[in-house]
Chains A and B, each alone.
Chain A
């Protein structure tokens, strides 16, 4: 990848988001540096998913500014498609793969390699899919080939396939939306391995989770969202897992008192 003179892949400034009269986000500033893994943590309903939807182009905020690689992007016409073009890919916890479909089809959905009549070049797609599985994400699952259907994969492996797909399509920033929800510990380890692959490949990542112990190892920086605001930010070297955990707990207790 070429060296260019920006420090942040993505930056959101002074984001305000209203749903009707309800304020979901209040003056949020959020950035992701080049090759930085940012853990976005917070309780359910804190505003994490609203923030993610804004940065992936699913919804438009009421006010605020968006910069991608230092360049200001008008938020009005920022869509999912535009986000893809800017190299921002999202891996949703359960809506990234078609279960009954074979892996190679999943890799290329929406971006098929075709001849000019729209017929898919299957050989080529399978070959690339095989490469992604073995080289990009280091897939060693026994008995799993590009011809296997997704239903045969474990939860962690599915996240791996989705991450591999995002990496193959030159995404600079990969957004992982709760990738370890409802996974066994062993599967969580697999996903974390894939996240490390993202880091190694020089890409940036936003890792959304409400389980800090999952994010702690793989992230460089943590952003805690609470009641629609960025409550705290930590660099990993300045905070231990225990301190982070206590900090989260304090917010939860404070919230309970307010309510």
Chain B
């Protein structure tokens, strides 16, 4: 028992240490199974150019889940904001205008999610599944199902600023995404807003009695999530110099997986931003790694699933707060996926 406690203490000494170790182990494994690929910088540059949108979304989603809610509408935010950005740029010739509009539209979509969830008292999982269909559908409708190629955007400063290659190799979007993550970490762990998110996710009644504006804070969290969705969308569209109507549709599971691999509590009240950072890189490097290891592309999903389950099990085993010893059913009932649905009954 003493030893178990010691191990727990060690793993809790640094935030998200277990998941950082998992990440390192996976990297070492790939270096051994595919030395030709994973000991050279190219694969890392490739991963750092594709994962930043996932990371920006994951950081935002960490806040949403910590507040005890869920947002599944971000794939359509990626699509809709990408369309706004690409079309506005095409029309005005100003990528900056497109960028600002994408942020504003993203924030608006998030705000609507928050208002529907809090004012109409609809569980956020239903709200955001609905709005995901709505904005996704509107994107296809307005774009006529067509993609929009914008190769000339590469000539602009905004492209260099967000998705250029620093020193010729490091993708700028990786720096931006990490900066956003650091900002979100400070917001959650050092700011009044973050403290309110923690308490709301923990216990709404306590928060209300102590004078926290529960609904307002939730709306702000959804709005921030939408804003970050808009930013992620611009990073993606700039990198590809192309908008297509289904961009972002493959983001849903990797981002949700990254947040939970990172150790954020499924029932709210606890958020691990650093965990999400490493969770994103685990998810982002798995596919390339599994393929390069010669196991075969068909194995990627299965491996992702196994690593996700393993990480979550690890997080639960090492959890220092482990509230109560509730049964599996209790845990499920308190999870962000079901919580709201019960509340409304």
Residues of A within 8 A of B (CB): 80-81, 84, 90, 92, 95-101, 105, 109-112, 114, 118-120, 122, 149, 151
Contact A100 B209 (CB under 8 A): no
Contact A96 B192 (CB under 8 A): no
The 3 closest A-B pairs by CB, nearest first: A110-B211, A98-B202, A110-B210
Contact B192 A100 (CB under 8 A): no
- Shortest C-beta distance, A83 to chain B (Å), equals 11
Q: Is B4 an interface residue (CB 8 A)?
A: no
Q: Is B198 an interface residue (CB 8 A)?
A: yes
Contact B195 A105 (CB under 8 A): yes
- Shortest C-beta distance, B189 to chain A (Å), equals 9
A100 in contact with B265 given A95-B205, A112-B195 (CB within 8 Å): yes
Contact A101 B209 (CB under 8 A): no
A114, B190: Cα distance in complex, Å: 9
Residues in A neighbouring B192, C-beta threshold 8 A: 112, 114, 118-120
Interface centre among B198, B210, B323 (most CB of A within 10 A): B210
Contact B198 A99 (CB under 8 A): no
- Shortest C-beta distance, B154 to chain A (Å), equals 37
Interface range on chain B: under 10, 10 to 19, 20 to 34, or 35 or more?
A: 20 to 34
Residues in A neighbouring B186, C-beta threshold 8 A: 119
Residues of B within 8 A of A (CB): 186, 190-193, 195, 198-199, 202-203, 205-207, 209-212, 265, 269-270, 320-324
Residues in B neighbouring A149, C-beta threshold 8 A: 320-321
Our pick among A92, A119, A120, A151 for the contact of B209 (Cβ within 8 Å) is A92
- Shortest C-beta distance, B216 to chain A (Å), equals 13
Contact B203 A95 (CB under 8 A): yes
Closest residue on chain A to residue B209 by CB atoms: A95
- Shortest C-beta distance, A153 to chain B (Å), equals 12
Closest residue on chain B to residue A92 by CB atoms: B209
Contact B269 A151 (CB under 8 A): no
Contact A118 B193 (CB under 8 A): yes
- Shortest C-beta distance, A201 to chain B (Å), equals 22
Closest residue on chain A to residue B186 by CB atoms: A119
A177, B321: Cα distance in complex, Å: 27
A101 in contact with B190 given A96-B206, A109-B207, A109-B210 (CB within 8 Å): no
Closest residue on chain A to residue B319 by CB atoms: A100
Interface centre among A95, A96, A105 (most CB of B within 10 A): A95
Our pick among A90, A97, A109, A120 for the contact of B212 (Cβ within 8 Å) is A109
Closest residue on chain B to residue A165 by CB atoms: B210
Contact A109 B195 (CB under 8 A): yes
A110, B212: Cα distance in complex, Å: 6
Residues in A neighbouring B202, C-beta threshold 8 A: 98-101
Residues in A neighbouring B195, C-beta threshold 8 A: 105, 109, 112, 120
Contact A109 B199 (CB under 8 A): yes
A96 in contact with B269 given A105-B195, A122-B190 (CB within 8 Å): no
Our pick among A97, A98, A112 for the contact of B269 (Cβ within 8 Å) is A98
